[in-house]
Amino acid sequence: MAARGGLENPLLGGGAVSSPDSRRRRPCTALAIAAAALLALAACVVLHLSSGGDDRSRVVSGGGGGVRLSPHEVEAGVGAVATDDGRCSEDMYAGNPTSKYKGALAMGIPGELAGLHAAWSRYGRLPWKDLFAPAIKLARDGFTVVPYLEIALKKTERDVLADPGLRAVLAPEGRILAAGEVCRNPALADTLEAIASGGVEAFYGGAVGERFVADVRRAGGIAKVDDLRAYKVEVSDAMRSDAMGYTFLGMPPPSSGGVGVALILNILSGYKSLEFLKGFLGLHRFIEAFKHMLAIRMDLGDPDYVNITGNVSEMLSPAFADKLRQRIVDNTTFPPSYYFPKWSQLDDHGTSHLCVVDGDRNAVAMTTTENHLFGAHLLSPSTGIVDGQLAGVVGGSGGPFIIATVVQLVPNEVVYENVTVVDGEVFELSGEAREFLRRRGHRLTSTDSGAVCQFIVQDLLTPVAAAGDENVFHGMLTAVSDPRKDGRPAGM
């Protein structure tokens, strides 16, 4: 996310941060929300491809979902999902299907800023204005383009060069920026300064919002300033599930992450022992559980428009999971029809995730997404916007790969033996594992894309009493960030 350079506030210190971008300095103490806001705002600057609030943002914790503040046992999910502007219709993309994910008609009403403000209003301590300083500095002074961003730019070069706003920031000399070069976004710096001083109202109906809407409409969009004024953040109870001896908290639908993780873990928990999840056969069982979950989750929808109560209950039910586990055969896989899929799978990308645990063991996991790399491929030229004991905080980015990757981290931590890579970095299955899976009918394809995870674990085997409260015990925090997106953990 933007850990380096995003956490330089002198009031922060004494916690751990895991984020998919190495720009970090210091984490926070008893200020998890503040740290999350600092990182998220900085990510809007350095991760144009997968952050910025064009689509949706969810602040979550525990096993991948909500804000969890342990001292007061607060468990909540803050959902800031992009909404349509009330003038959308079912056939508005019929003449040009591409316009539903590219261009001004693909843009919803941005919700990330409102979501951050809602979380800060309920749980934050630092002044609102102070949260913006690191992001403003990154936008105005610039940041170094990392290899991951260069790869994403090459994949979307034609669209970046076609949009005046993106071109001015990401290809200022007529070519896309390369790794090692500096990227600046002065218009975004001005926007952040205005919102820092004037509050979220500057965007949701104020001068910044008016300029943003004007840019969108010039590009062919239909948004209005009144749509910004009408935007509402939803705060709901976190989704709870129990598996493998742990309680997991996640976002409720329309996010499928919480229920998806719960279903897979319940399927795997049905084996007589967690030892049954080890080795190549354990990998086969996991893949089969994931296939069942993928087919079932496509029945989910937005609960504001679709009744999915029964679907959610099934996905959280250990009895339902056990029925699916009985359909897993150890010596073979099956064609897609075996898993009863009703709908085609979605292939979306453009996500960022961060995890924060502070000195009081308050925990935040936040996912922000634009659905596709660089969202709708449109940048607004005038604004620059594109249980009592915490066991761990985990989340990831990577579209359809997120749930599978997050679920794998749980048995990796609580089931498998510790493995250290001494020489080099291993990001692929061994030849023996691939041959084992092929013999069971799995079709394997090499890919250069996947999910990037962030993980913070608290070691409760040797806890020490918290300062000032002998009844509260804290364990050592270990923060891990997947390096494939130039991620680095931070901690003090």
Q: What is the pLDDT of residues 234-255, one digit of tens each?
A: 877 788 888 877 788 888 887 8
pLDDT band at 196 (very low <50, low <70, confident <90, very high): very high
Residue among 210, 200, 213 nearest 132 (CA): 200
State the maximum Cα–Cα separation within the chain, in Å, rounded to a whole number. Answer: 66
Would you state the pLDDT for residue 281? 95
Q: Is the pLDDT of residue 257 over 80?
A: yes
Rg (CA), the chain: 22
Q: Is the pLDDT of residue 258 over 70?
A: yes
Alpha carbon separation from 187 to 127, 169, 381, 432 (Å, rounded): 23, 9, 7, 52
User: Considering the chain, what percentage of its residues have pLDDT values greater than 90?
Assistant: 22
Better-predicted residue by pLDDT, 447 or 27: 447
What's the whole-number mean pLDDT along residues 461-490? 71
* Total count of residues recorded for the chain: 492
Better-predicted residue by pLDDT, 64 or 442: 442
Cβ neighbour number for residue 331 with a 10 Å cutoff: 9
Would you state the pLDDT for residue 414? 55
What's the whole-number mean pLDDT along residues 165-176? 90
The percent of the chain in helix, strand and coil, each rounded to the nearest 5, is 40, 20, 40
Q: Is the pLDDT of residue 227 over 80?
A: yes
Better-predicted residue by pLDDT, 229 or 379: 229
Q: Is the pLDDT of residue 149 over 60?
A: yes
In this structure, are residues 213 and 168 in contact, taking their beta carbons and an 8 Å threshold? no
One-letter amino acid at 143 equals F
- How many Å apart are CA 269 and CA 324, to the nearest integer? 12
Better-predicted residue by pLDDT, 91 or 149: 149
Tokens 């209003």 belong to which residue?
121
Q: What is the pLDDT of residues 342-370, one digit of tens each?
A: 766 665 555 777 778 877 777 787 877 66
In this structure, are residues 40 and 112 in contact, taking their beta carbons and an 8 Å threshold? yes
In this structure, are residues 113 and 43 in contact, taking their beta carbons and an 8 Å threshold? no
User: Dihedral sign, CA of 330, 334, 338, 340?
Assistant: positive
The dihedral over CA atoms of 189, 195, 196, 200, expressed in degrees to the nearest 10, equals -150
Which domains can be identified in the chain, with CATH numbers?
16-236+351-387 (no CATH), 238-339 (1.10.246.130), 413-491 (no CATH)
Q: Is the pLDDT of residue 389 over 50?
A: yes
- Choose, from 351, 367, 368, 383, the residue flagged as catalytic: 351
Cis bond before residue 134 (omega within 30° of 0) = no
Q: Is the pLDDT of residue 410 over 60?
A: yes
Q: What is the DSSP letter of 376?
A: T
One-letter amino acid at 392 equals G
Check if 447 is active-site.
no
Would you state the pLDDT for residue 173? 93
- Which of the residue ranges 144-158, 184-198, 348-362 has the most confident prediction, judged by mean pLDDT? 184-198
Binding-site residues for L-glutamate, in ranges, read: 369-371
Binding-site residues, in ranges, read: 369-371
pLDDT band at 468 (very low <50, low <70, confident <90, very high): low
Q: What is the pLDDT of residues 262-313, one digit of tens each?
A: 999 999 999 988 788 888 999 999 999 999 999 998 888 888 888 999 999 9
DSSP assignments along 288-307, one per residue: HHHHHHHHHHTT---TTTS-
What's the whole-number mean pLDDT along residues 145-155? 86
Q: Is the pLDDT of residue 79 over 60?
A: no
Q: Please state, rounded to an integer, the average pLDDT across all residues of the chain.
A: 75
What's the whole-number mean pLDDT along residues 15-39? 52
- Residue 487 — φ and ψ, nearest 5°? -80, 145
Better-predicted residue by pLDDT, 251 or 52: 251
Would you state the pLDDT for residue 474? 76
